[in-house]
Amino acid sequence: MKFYDNITNHFPNGIYPYVRMISLYDERPFEHEFFIRIQKSFLFLEKSTLTNYYAQNHKYSHESSILNYCYLTDLDFGRSHDD
């Protein structure tokens, strides 16, 4: 499987080494911890699309670290909240 569609805040933990493209969708805010789970689960991620219309609850947390996606070349925030 190269594509994982409509991942929400409740996606099952695991490692998906063959997935290269994902779409993220939820009706709740995505928090930093969610993106840490995405980074650890999709090691070879090349493309991601984000659909979410709600602002983060904890966007000013000083505990947030920078996340590195080594293979990510295409990131689409076109349908998401602007924070």
* Residue 59: per-residue pLDDT: 62
Which residues form the domain of 70?
A: 3-80
Provide the terminal-to-terminal Cα distance of the chain, rounded to the nearest Å: 31
Mean of pLDDT values over 35-48: 95
Place of tokens 């991942």: 7
Reported pTM: 0.81
- Token pair of 62 as six digits: 């000083």
Number of domains in the chain: 1
Q: How far apart are alpha carbons 80 and 67 in whole angstroms?
A: 19
At 36, the pLDDT band (50, 70, 90 cuts) reads: very high
